[in-house]
Amino acid sequence: MPERFASPADLDACRRAIRGGSKSFFAASLLLPEEVRDDAYALYGFCRRADDAVDDGFDPARACADLSWRLDEIYAGRPGDEPVDRAFADVVRKRAIPKSLPAALIEGFAWDAEGLRFETISQLRAYGARVAGSVGAMMTLVMGVRSPAALSRACDLGVAMQLTNIARDVGEDARAGRLYLPLEWMREAELEPAAWIAAPEFGPQIASVIQRVLEEADRLYDRARPGIALLPMGCRPAIHAAARIYREIGAEAERAGWDTVNRRVVTSTGRKLSLAAAGLLDAALTRGDDEAAPLAETRFLVSAIPPVPPAPPAPPWWRVDEHWGRMIEILLALELREQESTRLPDMRRERQG
């Protein structure tokens, strides 16, 4: 078996996928220690590519079957031709990621392919556990942490982020015939789900449902926060920043009167910078003294991960010049980074030649 499956070009493909597909995660990832960052890009690159394969394909069910086959090949040590598959194969071996975690992600995509709708908030959390809680658990393993407490809070954060995404995309999803809001809550607001999805319009009733989803997300962000203190110190600023940036989407929705039907709320690059800066302070002040059990909907993820001896202590993290330099880079160069990252290597090779 080769020492590594992925080439530098494969890893670069993962980085480009994140820059183009998730500016919020990419901004926060610049605060991760270098030894964690590439593994995080490989993880998110695979998850993003899998999500796109299901969303953009003509046959989502077949795409899910193909993903399951690709996952079997990755865990058999035979990753396919996709750069993200080779990069992810290195990560699952290096970080001892149980196959049940990415399999749960694919199960969530299969629920999408079936067009499932969710009657209760518990069912929606179960969906979030699969498509986002699984990623939070895998990311925790990438950072070298396997404790049930940290994994439970990571799953909380993943579900919170997924609820935020759902609330942000209500209009976009509805126009594509998709509905993720709890049907029970819609009826309590005197909305008939089938009638509303046939002619989606914004009004106080749908606003109240969107607000309830974001309030549930806020509850989970609060539950997740103490768990970040259980991560290596060098990783905490990035995760605090990511949580703050995602949570700000809910604040933007509130400022818009909860109207995510007619508009897609966004957070400016400058605001992301200030939230990333706050993440540095969070890392120093937040205590990891929370012992809450995992959500019922995420317990299967936490119990799937066997403990291993703890990793050796990380080197000192508080390099203020490095962390602030990265955040300034987010503000000044985030929008240009995609173009520059593809041009600069070629320019350097031409100069050297």
Q: Residue 15 pLDDT > 70, yes or no?
A: yes
State how far the alpha carbon of 317 is from the alpha carbons of 31, 63, 229, 323, in Å.
11, 41, 14, 9
Predicted model pTM: 0.84
Statement: residue 311 has pLDDT above 60: no
pLDDT at 321: 45
Kindly indicate the confidence band of residue 310, based on its pLDDT and cuts at 50, 70 and 90: very low
308 or 266, which is more confident: 266
**Strand, coil or helix: 343:** helix
Find, among 233, 244, 260, the residue nearest to 33 by Cα: 233
Distance of alpha carbon 51 from alpha carbon 13, whole angstroms: 16
Cβ proximity of 160 and 249 under 8 Å: no
Q: Which residue has the higher pLDDT, 22 or 339?
A: 22
Question: Tell me, what's the pLDDT at 331?
Answer: 47
45-64 pLDDT, tens digit each: 899 888 888 877 678 899 99
Cα-based angle 125, 275, 19 (whole degrees, multiple of 5): 75
The candidate with the shortest Cα–Cα distance to 239, out of 342, 321, 142, is: 142
Provide the percentage of residues in the chain whose pLDDT is more than 90. Answer: 61
Q: What pLDDT score does 272 carry?
A: 82
Neighbour-count burial for 177-206, b at 16+ CB within 10 Å, e otherwise? ebbbbbbbbbeebebebeebbeebebeeeb
Q: What is the secondary structure of 85-108 as a DSSP string?
A: HHHHHHHHHHHT--THHHHHHHHH
Percent of the chain at pLDDT > 70 equals 83
Query: Which of 331 and 143 is assigned the larger pLDDT?
Result: 143
Give the pLDDT confidence score for residue 136 in this predicted structure.
96
- The predicted pLDDT at position 254 comes to 97
pLDDT band (50, 70, 90) for residue 98: very high
pLDDT tens digits along 275-308:
888 887 888 877 776 678 999 999 999 999 988 6
pLDDT score for 226: 92
Average pLDDT, the chain: 86
pLDDT (0 to 100) of residue 20: 67
Q: Identify the weakest region by mean pLDDT among 200-214, 256-270, 302-316.
A: 302-316
Domains (range + CATH), the chain? 9-307+316-347 (1.10.600.10)
C-alpha angle 46-48-51 in degrees, rounded to nearest 5: 110
Q: Which residue has the higher pLDDT, 325 or 157?
A: 157
Furthest-apart CA atoms within the chain: distance in Å: 70
Q: How much is the average pLDDT of 108-124? A: 96
User: What is the reported pLDDT for 46?
Assistant: 92
Q: What is the mean pLDDT of residues 91-115?
A: 95
Residue 319 has pLDDT above 60, yes or no: no
Q: Flag whether pLDDT at 338 surpasses 80.
A: no
Which range (69-73, 208-212, 339-343) has the least confidence?
339-343
User: Does residue 177 or residue 1 have the better pLDDT?
Assistant: 177
Give 314's pLDDT tier (boundaries 50, 70, 90).
low
pLDDT at 317: 46
Sign of the dihedral through C-alpha 71, 73, 76, 79? negative
- Mean pLDDT over 111-127 rounds to 96
Q: What is the pLDDT of residue 318?
A: 47
